[in-house]
Amino acid sequence: MRNENKKPIKAKDKIVAELPLACMDETAAVEFIEKQRWGNMPACPHCGSLNVTKMTDGNGGRNRRFLWRCHDCKEQYTVRIGTVFEDSRLPLRHWCYAFWAACAHKKGVSALQISRQCLITYKSALFLMHRVRYAMTEPNPKQQLKGVVEADETYVGGKPRRGIKDIQIDHRKHNRYVGRGTKKTPVLALVERGGNVRARIVPNVTAKTLGKIMPKEIHPSSRLMTDSFRVYRSIGKNFASHDTVNHEIGEYARGDVTSNTAESFFAILKRGIYGTFHAVSKKHLHRYIDEFSFRWNTRKITDGERITAVIKGADGKRLMYRQPINS
Ligand SMILES: [Zn+2]
């Protein structure tokens, strides 16, 4: 990434300096991930003991499977245990590249690009990227959004369809169809101004559905800002105040009242989905939304810190190869 402030490279950006080697050499990749996950404390995941040693190949090099041995419980383990990569046979250097690419590119990186760069099959690359996205999901429980919170909704995806039965209705546009012959998925974004975004797929954008979600995600002391979509009217009563801008008369901001932050999140998400990924199936859309939310929520830290955050996010998220990855 461009160093916009022309400042000298800080210690935390050394992470980025180590990445090119970690993406080429398997030992460097394993040691990079060990350092990110464990720091200087490679504690045994079975019993917590620090009385552990790296196993060697007899010539002083690392064991072929990069095993560690615990002297207390006698178990062996590797850095993969208890993470999104535990059940993957893909070399960790490809995981390093995928983490790096997903963290450094604002609009994300496609499985096709990963497949070409790492010389792995498209199927393996898809598997890899879905798990990288899973590592990017925010763990529960979450804190409620506070202060000025913008809410907005949009429709994503959907290939053109023949026949009329798939057409959904956009309640925003006086019940006009959403595109012609399309079936799109509604997505809700709640953005704390200057803070985090919470974005998710919703079954519909009725007052009933959004009225269940928003009071859970947003603190009652917040100032809610939306456009003049009528479903927000009743929901707004849950918060300290509710201001709206009326897009229908060309109003997008009035003083500090605007939903532009939420709209810019959607703009990045859509440019990513249509530009980088071309087509995203409805089944996987929530993972892409998590990926874009992760990058938004970590926008104030460096690429290196973001990579550390996603590798730490890989912990405790073990997935089986064939396990469905719905949330
Ligand atoms: Zn142990």
Segment 263-281, tens digit of pLDDT: 999 999 998 888 776 667 7
Specify the pLDDT at position 325: 44
Specify the pLDDT at position 7: 59
Most confident segment among 138-142, 161-165, 250-254: 250-254
Q: What is the pLDDT of residues 70-96, one digit of tens each?
A: 999 999 999 999 888 888 889 999 999
**CA 142 to centroid of ligand 1, rounded, Å:** 32
Inside any domain, residue 293: no
Sign of CA dihedral 274, 276, 281, 285: negative
Of 282, 300, 318, the domain-final residue? 282
Specify the pLDDT at position 180: 41
Structure tokens at 218: 């947003």
Do 164 and 268 share a domain, yes or no? yes
C-beta neighbour count of 273 within 10 angstroms: 20
Inside any domain, residue 302: no
**CA 259 to centroid of ligand 1, rounded, Å:** 52
Instruction: Give the phi and the psi of residue 8 in degrees, each rounded to 5.
Output: -65, 155
pTM over 0.95: no
Do 252 and 217 share a domain, yes or no? yes
> How many separate domains does the chain show?
2
**CA 50 to centroid of ligand 1, rounded, Å:** 8
Specify the pLDDT at position 231: 93
**CA 77 to centroid of ligand 1, rounded, Å:** 9
**CA 51 to centroid of ligand 1, rounded, Å:** 8
Inside any domain, residue 299: no
Rg (CA), the chain: 23
**CA 52 to centroid of ligand 1, rounded, Å:** 8
Inside any domain, residue 318: no
Helix, strand, coil % over all residues of the chain, rounded to 5: 40, 15, 45
Assign residue 256 the CATH number of its domain. 3.30.420
**CA 80 to centroid of ligand 1, rounded, Å:** 16
Residue 4 has pLDDT above 60, yes or no: no
What's the mean pLDDT in 289-307?
A: 91
Do 112 and 215 share a domain, yes or no? no
Instruction: Report the percent of the chain where pLDDT is more than 70.
Output: 83
Task: Tell me which residue of 123, 131, 65, 119 sits closest to 95, measured CA to CA.
Answer: 131
**CA 135 to centroid of ligand 1, rounded, Å:** 25
Do 156 and 219 share a domain, yes or no? yes
Specify the pLDDT at position 269: 93
Inside any domain, residue 188: yes
**CA 131 to centroid of ligand 1, rounded, Å:** 27
Least confidently predicted of 92-96, 145-149, 185-189, 253-257? 253-257
**CA 45 to centroid of ligand 1, rounded, Å:** 7
Specify the pLDDT at position 209: 95
Average pLDDT value over all residues in the chain: 85
For residues 274 and 295, give the distance between their C-alpha atoms in angstroms, rounded to a whole number: 17
Residue 318 has pLDDT above 90, yes or no: no
Please give the residue range of the domain that contains residue 209.
148-282
What's the mean pLDDT in 19-25?
A: 93
Specify the pLDDT at position 304: 87
**CA 23 to centroid of ligand 1, rounded, Å:** 30
Do 268 and 243 share a domain, yes or no? yes
For residues 265 and 278, give the distance between their C-alpha atoms in angstroms, rounded to a whole number: 18
Do 114 and 161 share a domain, yes or no? no
Of 135, 162, 179, the domain-final residue? 135
For residues 324 and 258, give the distance between their C-alpha atoms in angstroms, rounded to a whole number: 39
Q: Which pLDDT band, with edges at 50, 70 and 90, does 162 fall under?
A: very low
Inside any domain, residue 239: yes
Do 116 and 237 share a domain, yes or no? no
Do 129 and 240 share a domain, yes or no? no
Inside any domain, residue 327: no
Spell out the residues 6+ positions from residue 217 whose beta carbon is closer than 8 angstroms to its own: 142, 144, 145, 190, 198
**CA 27 to centroid of ligand 1, rounded, Å:** 23
Inside any domain, residue 304: no
**CA 218 to centroid of ligand 1, rounded, Å:** 43
Do 203 and 95 share a domain, yes or no? no
Residue 171 has pLDDT above 60, yes or no: no
Do 66 and 187 share a domain, yes or no? no
The DSSP call for residue 188 is: E
Of 135, 156, 176, the domain-final residue? 135
**CA 76 to centroid of ligand 1, rounded, Å:** 8
Do 178 and 245 share a domain, yes or no? yes
Do 114 and 155 share a domain, yes or no? no
Instruction: Report the percent of the chain where pLDDT is more than 90.
Output: 56
**CA 46 to centroid of ligand 1, rounded, Å:** 5
